[in-house]
């Protein structure tokens, strides 16, 4: 096995050239075998095997520095830098992360997870190199999907000013998670099919540059000309015109060609972009045929590509998907927006039924929100379906473009709470804090699948900015009998008793039920309230609760700082209530990857830990 000879960084350089192809095959077999067990980002990784090998052959890590955009495609890099054993525990609690992590290896120079950051970080590393007198290469690897993000464009604009080498590798596989969309994608497609022109360009440029004294000048002049010839001579002119040298397109599965191009790129004294074409899912037929399904794969059967376990219950995304279809049917003003996540957010059905009212704007959360604000200003009812952690990107757009104008934009915030295997970068544990401080915003969280549906209907009929947040995974189907109509700002009694009151937000209602059962078994009286609204908080309910309870416990799957509990506590503290408040929430920390149930225990959001804390607080109060 060649892979067994790769135990640390640069071991790949000890292999013979004839070993490269068999090694690529071994890496693919290894990734398929391991990810079929652990799950993970398979298709993107299969696509960059040769690209990563060529980088490790042409550059010297860890002296040279590579920033992986999103970082979900860094598995081969991990394999080539001595982390083979880590794949048994990939994305498990305490195990290897699915993303680059500085704390994991000195070959990971920058942590990623959210898209379109790599060029900015790369420029930072280049400037740091210049100012500290370093000589290392700095490389940012960015996918065609991630290149659609605003930050990438901002960074390109900045990169064009560089006066020293900076290598941007654009990995173009024509896919985001779904098919890549928009003008940039069209532009890249045009260049992919321009190989003839490109060869012509390279040939012509080489010939001209060889002309003593005048050659370089002629090339520069040619590049500047506005004639049609320029189109023919300079593919990648968008980049070239900005002052970024364009090399490519290069076959991303040809190691020789890649190494040659990397060595050429090292000689450029400013920013250079190498356009590499790869196939997402390469080498595993099910992934080649269904790159979206194998983007982030659950454990699967290698022979068939089918998931190992089938879901028996609907998840919240499925419920959202169904209700969007119904809402779209009933109200022509309802339109839906995703930032490159039509599958993950469940909007695909809406897209199929109402293609004219569905918008995939690329990985562009900021634009998505302001675009929605424009749609609302134009009289439509936009639903922005977005993951909690990705909406962090668009904080100012929510505040400045939606909320100041009090526009009716509906935020359907999926993956709110702990998401599990993706870890720190993707945990949706800040949205209650970052949204509840924004005037005019209304925030809801459903306790179960029926309430998600009811809240969506409420949100569409409301007028003003309104968000509802729900977690990744199976939708709770308990408490069906509690389905009182949603009233603005009002919470819901589930069980009304005395002494201890549990007031839970969304996903925590189910946990609060378990907590209450355990408390009742131990002989305590216990009320259970479904908060429903996080903003505004239900002041009327708090007044009621204070009359008959000694302890009010708030429960939320969000960080404590600035969350629901914080606001309730402030309200109670400002009054003369004879009632203590205990906030159960996530600590002021990032939560790493791992199984969600296990993470709940780690952060103290499991029923058992909560019961202990409630009893301690209650007994201390008596």
Ligand X SMILES: CC(=O)[C@@H](O)[C@H](O)COP(=O)(O)O
Ligand Y SMILES: Cc1ncc(C[n+]2csc(CCOP(=O)(O)OP(=O)(O)O)c2C)c(N)n1
Binding site for Mg ion (CB under 5 A): 143-145, 173, 175
Interior angle at CA 244, CA 243 and CA 247, nearest 5? 135
**466-469 and 271-277 beta bridge pairing:** unpaired
296 binds, among ligand X, ligand Y, Mg ion, none (CB under 5 to 8 A by kind): ligand X
The tokens describing 541, both together, are 């309910």
DSSP per-residue string spanning 348-415: HHHHHH-GGGEEE--S-HHHHHHHHHHHHHTT-EEEEEEEHHHHGGGHHIIIIIIITTT---EEEEES
The nearest distance, CB 39 to ligand X, in angstroms, is 9
The tokens describing 37, both together, are 């067990």
472 binds, among ligand Y, ligand X, Mg ion, none (CB under 5 to 8 A by kind): ligand X
Is 365 annotated as contributing to ligand binding? Answer: yes
Q: Do the Cβ atoms of 52 and 276 come closer than 8 Å? A: no
The nearest distance, CB 43 to Mg ion, in angstroms, is 9
The nearest distance, CB 117 to Mg ion, in angstroms, is 16
Which residue, judged by CB position, is nearest to Mg ion in the bound state? 143
506 binds, among ligand X, Mg ion, ligand Y, none (CB under 5 to 8 A by kind): none
Name which of 175 and 383 has its Cβ closer to Mg ion. Answer: 175
What is the helix (H) or strand (E) element at residue 322, kind and residue range?
A: helix 316-330
How far is 87 from 40, CA to CA, in rounded Å?
10
367 binds, among Mg ion, ligand Y, ligand X, none (CB under 5 to 8 A by kind): none
DSSP per-residue string spanning 492-537: EEEE--SEEEEEE-TTHHHHHHHHHHHHHHTT--EEEEE--EEES-
The nearest distance, CB 458 to ligand Y, in angstroms, is 27
Q: Distance of alpha carbon 570 from its chain centroid, rounded?
A: 33
Cβ neighbours of residue 199 closer than 8 Å, sequence gap 6 or more: none
Q: How far is CA 565 from CA 488, 495, 585, in A?
A: 19, 20, 8
Name which of 472 and 549 has its Cβ closer to ligand X. Answer: 472
The nearest distance, CB 269 to ligand X, in angstroms, is 34
Name which of 383 and 610 has its Cβ closer to ligand Y. Answer: 383
For 247-257, letters b (16+ CB in 10 Å) and e give: bbbbbbbbbee
How far is 434 from 424, CA to CA, in rounded Å?
17
**442-444 and 245-251 beta bridge pairing:** unpaired
The nearest distance, CB 146 to ligand Y, in angstroms, is 3
Reply yes or no on whether 224 is catalytic: no
Catalytic residue selected from 83, 280, 349, 535: 280
Is 144 annotated as contributing to ligand binding? Answer: yes
Is 145 annotated as contributing to ligand binding? Answer: yes
How far is 32 from 63, CA to CA, in rounded Å?
30
Reply yes or no on whether 575 is catalytic: no
Backbone angles phi, psi at 438, to 5 degrees: -100, 120
The nearest distance, CB 150 to Mg ion, in angstroms, is 17
Beta bridge partners of residue 359, listed in sequence order: 337
Residue linked to tokens 């002052």? 243
How far is 156 from 399, CA to CA, in rounded Å?
27
Reply yes or no on whether 298 is catalytic: no
The nearest distance, CB 343 to ligand X, in angstroms, is 8
- Chain residues in the site for ligand Y (CB under 6 A): 44, 70, 72-73, 114-115, 143-146, 171, 173, 175-177, 280, 295, 339-341, 363, 365, 390, 393
Catalytic residue selected from 201, 348, 393, 449: 393
Return the percent helix, strand and coil in the chain, to nearest 5.
Answer: 45, 15, 40
Is 113 annotated as contributing to ligand binding? Answer: yes
Name which of 418 and 545 has its Cβ closer to ligand X. Answer: 418
Residue linked to tokens 């490519």? 248
How far is 146 from 157, CA to CA, in rounded Å?
16
415 binds, among ligand X, ligand Y, Mg ion, none (CB under 5 to 8 A by kind): ligand X
469 binds, among Mg ion, ligand X, ligand Y, none (CB under 5 to 8 A by kind): none
Q: How many CB atoms lie within 10 A of CB 483?
A: 13
Name which of 278 and 433 has its Cβ closer to ligand Y. Answer: 278
The nearest distance, CB 17 to Mg ion, in angstroms, is 28
44 binds, among ligand Y, Mg ion, ligand X, none (CB under 5 to 8 A by kind): ligand Y
Name which of 276 and 568 has its Cβ closer to Mg ion. Answer: 276
How far is 421 from 426, CA to CA, in rounded Å?
9
Is 72 annotated as contributing to ligand binding? Answer: yes
How far is 52 from 48, CA to CA, in rounded Å?
6
Name which of 19 and 298 has its Cβ closer to ligand Y. Answer: 298
What phi-psi label fits residue 91: left (phi over 0), alpha (psi between -120 and 50 degrees) or beta? left
Helix (H, G, I), strand (E, B) or coil at 302: coil
Q: Residues comprising the binding site?
A: 72, 113-115, 144-146, 173, 284, 365
Q: List the catalytic residues.
A: 280, 365, 393
Q: Residues comprising the binding site for thiamine diphosphate?
A: 72, 113-115, 145-146, 173, 284, 365
Q: Residues comprising the binding site for Mg(2+)?
A: 144, 173
């Amino acid at each position: 096995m060649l892979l067994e000879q790769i135990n640390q960084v640069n071991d790949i350089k000890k292999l013979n050239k004839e070993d490269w192809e068999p090694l690529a095959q071994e890496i693919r077999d290894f990734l398929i075998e391991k990810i079929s067990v652990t799950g993970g980002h398979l298709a993107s990784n299969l696509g960059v095997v040769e690209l990563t090998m060529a980088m490790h052959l042409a550059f010297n890590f860890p002296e040279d520095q590579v920033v992986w955009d999103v970082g979900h495609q860094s598995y081969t890099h991990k394999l080539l830098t001595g982390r083979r054993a880590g794949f048994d525990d990939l994305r498990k609690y305490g195990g290897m992360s699915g993303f680059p992590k500085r704390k994991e290896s000195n070959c990971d120079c920058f942590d990623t997870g959210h898209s379109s950051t790599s060029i900015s970080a790369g420029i930072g590393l280049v400037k740091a190199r210049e100012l500290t007198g370093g000589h290392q290469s700095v490389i940012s690897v960015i996918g065609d999907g991630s290149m659609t993000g605003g930050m990438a464009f901002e960074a390109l604009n900045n990169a064009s000013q560089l006066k020293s080498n900076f290598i941007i590798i654009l990995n173009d596989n024509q896919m985001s998670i779904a098919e890549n969309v928009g003008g940039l994608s069209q532009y890249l497609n045009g260049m992919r099919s321009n190989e003839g022109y490109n060869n012509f360009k390279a040939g012509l440029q080489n010939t001209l540059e060889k002309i003593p004294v005048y050659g370089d000048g002629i090339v520069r002049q040619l590049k500047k000309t506005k004639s049609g010839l320029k189109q023919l001579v300079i593919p990648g002119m968008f980049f070239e015109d900005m002052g970024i040298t364009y090399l490519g397109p290069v076959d991303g599965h040809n190691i020789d060609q890649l190494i040659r191009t990397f060595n050429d790129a090292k000689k450029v004294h400013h920013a250079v972009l190498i356009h590499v074409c790869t196939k997402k899912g390469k080498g595993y037929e099910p992934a080649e045929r269904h790159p979206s399904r194998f983007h982030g794969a659950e454990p699967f059967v290698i022979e068939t590509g089918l998931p190992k376990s089938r879901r028996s219950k609907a998840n919240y995304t499925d419920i959202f998907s169904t209700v969007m279809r119904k809402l779209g049917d009933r109200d022509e003003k309802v339109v839906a927006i995703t930032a490159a996540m039509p599958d993950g957010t469940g909007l695909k059905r809406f897209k199929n039924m109402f293609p004219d009212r569905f918008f995939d704007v690329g990985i562009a959360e900021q634009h998505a929100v302001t675009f929605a604000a424009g749609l609302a200003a134009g009289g439509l009812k936009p639903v922005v379906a977005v993951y909690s952690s990705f909406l962090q990107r668009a904080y100012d757009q929510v505040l400045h473009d939606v909320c100041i104008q009090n526009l009716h934009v509906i935020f359907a915030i999926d993956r709110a709470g702990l998401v599990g295997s993706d870890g720190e970068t993707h945990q949706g544990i800040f949205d209650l804090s970052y949204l509840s401080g924004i005037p005019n915003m209304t925030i809801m969280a459903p306790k179960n699948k029926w309430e998600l549906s009811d809240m969506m209907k409420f949100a569409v009929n409301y007028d003003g900015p309104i968000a509802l947040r729900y977690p990744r995974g199976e939708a709770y189907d308990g408490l069906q009998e509690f389905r009182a109509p949603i009233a603005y700002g009002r919470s819901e009694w589930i069980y009304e008793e005395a002494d201890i009151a549990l007031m839970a937000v969304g996903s925590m209602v189910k946990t609060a039920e378990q907590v209450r059962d355990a408390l009742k078994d131990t002989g305590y009286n216990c009320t259970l309230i479904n908060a429903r609204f996080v903003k505004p908080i239900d002041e009327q309910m708090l007044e009621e609760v204070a009359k008959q309870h000694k302890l009010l416990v708030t429960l939320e799957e969000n960080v404590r700082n600035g969350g629901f509990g914080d606001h309730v506590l402030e309200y109670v503290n400002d009054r003369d209530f004879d009632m203590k408040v205990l906030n159960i929430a996530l600590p002021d920390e990032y939560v790493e990857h791992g199984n969600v149930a296990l993470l709940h225990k780690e952060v103290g959001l499991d029923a058992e830990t909560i019961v202990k804390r409630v009893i301690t607080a209650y007994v201390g109060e008596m």
